Amino acid sequence: MTVLNQLVIGASIGAVLLLIALGLTFTFGQMGVINLAHGEFIMAGAYTAFVLQSVVGTHAVPVALPVAFVVAGALGLVLERLAIRRFYGRPLDTLLLTFGVSLVLQQVVRDIFGAPNVNVTRPGWLDGNLALGAVRLPYTRMFILALALGCVLVIFGYLTRTRHGRRMRAVVQNRELASVSGVNTGRVDQLTFFIGSGLAGVAGVAITLIGPVGPTLGAAYIVDAFLVVIAGGLGQLRGAVVVAFALGMFNSFVESVTDASLAKVVVFVVVVAFLQVRPQGLVALRTRALS
């Protein structure tokens, strides 16, 4: 039964990674922007839930999900319009730029809320566990898993069933061809950054169910999220889903026999080794090219 418990923990870890990586799948996979401030959009979502707690009490988490999406999405849109759009095609410059933005946002949160971590009280209906024999399924982790899968279904439907989603896929596959075909790639980029950043805000709300959150919350997850996106295949939703849960499971089992720090090192080494064998990631983007 210990194995089953670890599977449950691994699935919840994978769900959190997936929620975070969904946004990066768009901003990094489509636009090639190395956005280190993505972690601070996660933090923005978490603190949105904390602020709403003083208004709606224990119902802060469900209320905060759509609000955090808009707040984090708006932050991402402002960043894209004011700065990042001037650095497209220059990934190292975007890395330095967004690293500086992340430090500024962390300091702003410290100035407003203070340095100590804060807690968000979860709704009463998320207390307790679902017992299946010797296996305990915490309601909080089941909620995070359902939230992640729900977000995947919504994003998949958006990409495949809507006009804007198809335009987004066209830009991912071939930006130049999409542009000459009449697609306003600048507007697509704005919408992409809004959605990607908003998903980070949703992830931040989910993380408040796990434990306290603080100004450096995003830094604890951003590297793992980039690993998910790269190993899954740039811009590939299916690859991100598979790799997120695979890394979550693997991390859970490694951590059960070592410790959290060593588990992260082992996961990183395994991902690097995987990319040596398959540098294009788990799911490669298929394109047609003239030979």
pLDDT: is 235 or 165 the higher one?
Answer: 165
* pLDDT value at 291 more than 70: no
Q: Which of 276, 281, 279, 247 is nearest to 264 (CA)?
A: 247
Mean pLDDT (the chain, rounded): 87
* pLDDT value at 288 more than 70: no
Mean pLDDT, rounded, for 203-227: 90
Contacts of residue 61, defined as CB under 8 A and 6 or more positions apart, other chains included, come to 49, 120, 122, 123, 126, 205, 208, 209
Mean pLDDT, rounded, for 208-223: 90
Per the domain annotation, does 186 fall within a domain? yes
| Confidence tier at 197 by pLDDT (50, 70, 90) | very high
Per the domain annotation, does 224 fall within a domain? no
Per the domain annotation, does 196 fall within a domain? yes
* pLDDT value at 287 more than 60: no
DSSP strands (E only) in 5-50: none
Q: How confident is the model at residue 289, as a pLDDT? A: 44
Q: How confident is the model at residue 33, as a pLDDT? A: 82
* pLDDT value at 281 more than 80: yes
Domain count, the chain: 1
CA–CA dist 266, 255 (Å, integer): 10
Per the domain annotation, does 235 fall within a domain? no
Show the domain range for 174. Answer: 18-219
Per the domain annotation, does 35 fall within a domain? yes
CA–CA dist 237, 160 (Å, integer): 12
Per the domain annotation, does 184 fall within a domain? yes
Per the domain annotation, does 283 fall within a domain? no
Supply 271's token pair. 């991902």
Supply 76's token pair. 């991402």
Mean pLDDT, rounded, for 50-77: 93
Please report, rounded to a whole number, the percentage of residues in the chain having pLDDT higher than 90: 34
* pLDDT value at 40 more than 50: yes
